[in-house]
Structures are given as structure tokens and as C-alpha cells.
């Protein structure tokens, strides 16, 4: 965090300062800000966030032992450290981020990008951060830090030397993107797609689309909206963007897109296509597996060009990215048995895309194996969507469908009902049972996809398989 006095931090968060030791209101603090006491180091600020399972106030002492010099708390704690008492620690974290980013932005050198979408946020963030890093100091979220805590924690990493802040915004419910993006008012916003991921928490896909459009409403004017021209619900947001005075730039494969992809070819070594940008056609060779990542690359490329990056430079930097993120289409295993660990998260759209990629990269003498767990947060659509994925797996001729966990049983039943018989589809109760089955079932020439929602935890099964066949 930039250097601020205790008095300035107190004013930013609207709290009550209680100094300790040799501190005064004019003491300057400029360390890391986080809600995790394990990340603390000398000079840090610890935000004691109450949680459903534990309470951050219990860890103030541990944070101080690790080097924290200030705690933002909801009630005083009997620990010898300066404290700012606030009514809501999470709100205070956001307000501190607002103040810090505002000060840095006032210097005139900071450009802010906001990214949202039902799928692809983290991959697009990583692509764009890689492109921008060669232009100047770039701050972007670690992993998927896109919620009410992760987004402000990322924002607070900016310094007076930061040229770009790339923020990723997830939607916990209606209004959440508006609140988070409203802290920084991005100069450029990217909306990737509207799908059924988390639709159960919104009341349907149209409500999800409205939630995603909150990012367009939060953009700074004049600014730019980079929208997926292939997604009708996203492309419809151009009316809102234009009404607000934003420049709209489309990406995708449709004629409406200004930045387009042609001739997409997927292989086991990556994905190639031709990019049409700024009136020229250029080849792109992504190392990341899957045709769906072309959309994410297009979004990042479009945003980068709008920020002044030369298209040739942006494409060259995209081609250096080896994986989108850990547990996202991550190649593991060896040449004999290849594992694709894509179990960080799953929605109907990403599940279908991953299955299609598995089918595309598997040769005629190789065998496709899909290890699938449940997709969470689908609400009333859960049963129907698991049915659809089971049917798709059979129609793609996936030779072994291994369904893990009771929540995914309907996917297994749909696959059997579609004609996956004779042990082509199996249902196993948990990860350990699946590992034991796969340990003896997998053979040379197998190409294995591991895919589930994060809460199911199949990413750990993917790691175990990757290590087994390394």
C-alpha cells in the first residue's frame, strides 16, 4: 500500500483510532493489507474480518507476531497494537481501497481495467496482465481474487509507480459488481459472457445478465466497453454503454466484432487461429488448450489495443503464456497418459467446452477419459444441466465417463440412458474411490479430463493423477 498516516487511514475507513506503543496519528504505514494473518510481514495492516467459520479478531495476535503494525477491527482486541475500530471490517477494507486508488489515480498515470463474465475472468485477467506487464508496472489479482475481500486487497497493492490495475469482478448477487467496481470506476471494462454459472443465486440467466451489466454502469466516462459480440446478452449491453457515453469495441467471431478470430484449430499442443485486428490479419499460436480460450485471448487483446499496445506486441506476449492458471486446462502426466486438470471451477458452458477440447485433442489411436464431478450453484437448473452434460459426453464419444460424488449422479444416469453401457460410464462415491479405479484403469494412450466445480475438489484428484503418471 502507498504510505499513509494512521490518521489518514482512519479518515478513509470512517473509524475510531486507538494508538499503541510509540504510535501517534501521524505515524506512517505503507505495508501489505490483508485479512489473512498468515500473509503478514513487518509493517503490514491486518483486517479482522468476521467469518462464517471463524473470526479474524482471534488472529490479531498472530498477525502482530508476524509483523502487523495496525489492525482494523470491529471491536477492540486486547493485543498491543494500534487499532482502528469500524462498524464493518469488509466495508472498511473497500473504503481504504477506494481512497488509495483515488490518490494514485490523481497522479495521472494509472489506468484501470475491470473484467467480468460467467466464465473466463481469471484467464482473461492473466492474459491481459501478461500483455501489460511489458508496458509498465501492472497489478492484477492473485488466483481468482474477485470478491468483496479479494478485489480490494488487490487494489491496495497499487503504488505511485503502477501504470495498470487489472481488476476481476465476480458476482455474489445483484449489486455486488456495482459495489466493487464502484470503488475504482474502471477506465475500460470487459464483459466476456453471460452463462449459467452461479445462476442459482441470481434467479435465472436474465438476472445474471443484469448483474454483469453493472460493470458497464460502473465504468468511468469517457471510457471504453469491450464486449463479446458473439454473446447476444453481452452484445445487448452496448446500448447501455453508448447511452452512458462509452466507446464500444466488440470481439469474437461474428461480423459485428472489430477484433475477430478465424480458422481456429485445436490440438494437444495448443490452439491456433488467425486474428483480424486494426485492419490486418495475424497468426496467433496459443499454448493454452481449448478453443474457448481464444475468446479470452481476443478479449485481452482487444483491451490491450485500446490501452495503446501494438497488436503485434500483444499477440507475441499472448503466445508466451503456457497455462491459463493452475487447475485451468493444466496439462499434467506424461506422453503416455496425459491429464488435463480443469477442476478449479465448472459451469455448463465451461464443462461443455472442456469436453469438446478433450475430443478434439485425442488422436484416433488414443482413448478419451472424462472424470467429472458436480457443477454447483445452478439452482433449479441443476438437474437439467447435469443431464445435458451426460448426453454431450456420450455424443462426443468419450470412451470412459467416470462420475464422482453423489451430487453428480444424475450426470451418470443421463450418460447411461444415452447409451454409455458396458462400463463405459461408472459412478464412484468419492475421490479416493475414483483414484483407486483410475490407477488401474488408465493405460497408455489415454487422454484424461478432470472437471468439476471448485467446491467438489476434484482438482486435488487431478493433482494425484498427474503425480502418478509424471
Q: Per the annotation, where are the binding residues? A: 117-123
Residue 288 phi/psi, 5-degree rounding, is: -75, 135
32, 41 Cβ separation under 8 angstroms: yes
Reading the block at residue 145, the C-alpha cell is 481474487
Q: Where are the beta strands (DSSP E) in 93-237?
A: 111-116, 138-139, 164-168, 188-191, 224-228
SS3 of residue 462 by DSSP: helix
Residue 84 phi/psi, 5-degree rounding, is: -115, 115
Cα–Cα dist 301/311, whole Å: 7
Helix (H) or strand (E) holding 34: strand 33-34
228, 281 Cβ separation under 8 angstroms: no
Q: Which residues fall in the annotated binding site for ATP?
A: 117-123
Reading the block at residue 60, the C-alpha cell is 490479531
For residue 55, give the DSSP letter. B
DSSP string, 263-318: EEEEETTEEEEEEEETTEEEEEEE-S--THHHHHHHHHHHHHHHTT--HHHHHHHH
264 CB-near residues (< 8 Å, 6+ apart): 271, 272, 273, 291, 294
360 exposure class (CB count in 10 Å sphere: 0-12, 13-18, 19+): middle
254, 305 Cβ separation under 8 angstroms: no
Cα–Cα dist 192/168, whole Å: 11
| Angle at 121 (CA atoms; ends 116, 127), nearest 5 degrees | 125
Cα–Cα dist 470/460, whole Å: 15
- Between the alpha carbon of residue 172 and those of residues 129, 164, 356, the distances in Å are 24, 25, 29
Residue written as grid cell 496482465:
129
454 exposure class (CB count in 10 Å sphere: 0-12, 13-18, 19+): middle
Cα–Cα dist 374/268, whole Å: 26
Amino acid at each position: 500500500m502507498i504510505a499513509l498516516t494512521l490518521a489518514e487511514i482512519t479518515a478513509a475507513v470512517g473509524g475510531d483510532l486507538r494508538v499503541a506503543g510509540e504510535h501517534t496519528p501521524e505515524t506512517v504505514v505503507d505495508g501489505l493489507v490483508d485479512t489473512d494473518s498468515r500473509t503478514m510481514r513487518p509493517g503490514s495492516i491486518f483486517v479482522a474480518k468476521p467469518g462464517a467459520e471463524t473470526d479474524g479478531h482471534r488472529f490479531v495476535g498472530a498477525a502482530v507476531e508476524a509483523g502487523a503494525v495496525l489492525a482494523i477491527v470491529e471491536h477492540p482486541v486486547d493485543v498491543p497494537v494500534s487499532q482502528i475500530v469500524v462498524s464493518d471490517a469488509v466495508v472498511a477494507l473497500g473504503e481504504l481501497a477506494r481512497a488509495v486508488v483515488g490518490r494514485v489515480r490523481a497522479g495521472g498515470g494509472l489506468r484501470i481495467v475491470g473484467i467480468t463474465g460467467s466464465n473466463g475472468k481469471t484467464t482473461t485477467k492473466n492474459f491481459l496482465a501478461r500483455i501489460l506487464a511489458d508496458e509498465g508496472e501492472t497489478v492484477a489479482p492473485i488466483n481468482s481474487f474477485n470478491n468483496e475481500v479479494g478485489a480490494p486487497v488487490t487494489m491496495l497493492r497499487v503504488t505511485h509507480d503502477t501504470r495498470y490495475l487489472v481488476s476481476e469482478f465476480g458476482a455474489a448477487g445483484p449489486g455486488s459488481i456495482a459495489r466493487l467496481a464502484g470503488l475504482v470506476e474502471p477506465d475500460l471494462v470487459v464483459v466476456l459472457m453471460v452463462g449459467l454459472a452461479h445462476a442459482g443465486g441470481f434467479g435465472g440467466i436474465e438476472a445474471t445478465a443484469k448483474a454483469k451489466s453493472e460493470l458497464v454502469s460502473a465504468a468511468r466516462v469517457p471510457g471504453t466497453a469491450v464486449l463479446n459480440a458473439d454473446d447476444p446478452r453481452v452484445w445487448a449491453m452496448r446500448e447501455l454503454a453508448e447511452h452512458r457515453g462509452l466507446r464500444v469495441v466488440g470481439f469474437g467471431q461474428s461480423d459485428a466484432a472489430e477484433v475477430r478470430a478465424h480458422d481456429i484449430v485445436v490440438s494437444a499442443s495448443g490452439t491456433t487461429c488467425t486474428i483480424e485486428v486494426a485492419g490486418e490479419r495475424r497468426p496467433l499460436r496459443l499454448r493454452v488448450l481449448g478453443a474457448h480460450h481464444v475468446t479470452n485471448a481476443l478479449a485481452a487483446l482487444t483491451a490491450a489495443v485500446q490501452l495503446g499496445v501494438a497488436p503485434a506486441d500483444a499477440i507475441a506476449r499472448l503466445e508466451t503464456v503456457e497455462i491459463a492458471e493452475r487447475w485451468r486446462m493444466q496439462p499434467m502426466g506424461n506422453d503416455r497418459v496425459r491429464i488435463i486438470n480443469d477442476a478449479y471451477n465448472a459451469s455448463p458452458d465451461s464443462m461443455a467446452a472442456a469436453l469438446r477440447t478433450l475430443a478434439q485433442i485425442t488422436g484416433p489411436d488414443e482413448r478419451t477419459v472424462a472424470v467429472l464431478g458436480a457443477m454447483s450453484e445452478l439452482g433449479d437448473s441443476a438437474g437439467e444441466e447435469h443431464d445435458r452434460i451426460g448426453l454431450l459426453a456420450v455424443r462426443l464419444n468419450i470412451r470412459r465417463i467416470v462420475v464422482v460424488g453423489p451430487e453428480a449422479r444424475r450426470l451418470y444416469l443421463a450418460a447411461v440412458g444415452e447409451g454409455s453401457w458396458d462400463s463405459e460410464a461408472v459412478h464412484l462415491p468419492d475421490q479416493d474411490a475414483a483414484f483407486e479405479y483410475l490407477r488401474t484403469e488408465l493405460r497408455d494412450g489415454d487422454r484424461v479430463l478432470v472437471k468439476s466445480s471448485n467446491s467438489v475438489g476434484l482438482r486435488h484428484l487431478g493433482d494425484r493423477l498427474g503425480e502418478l503418471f509424471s
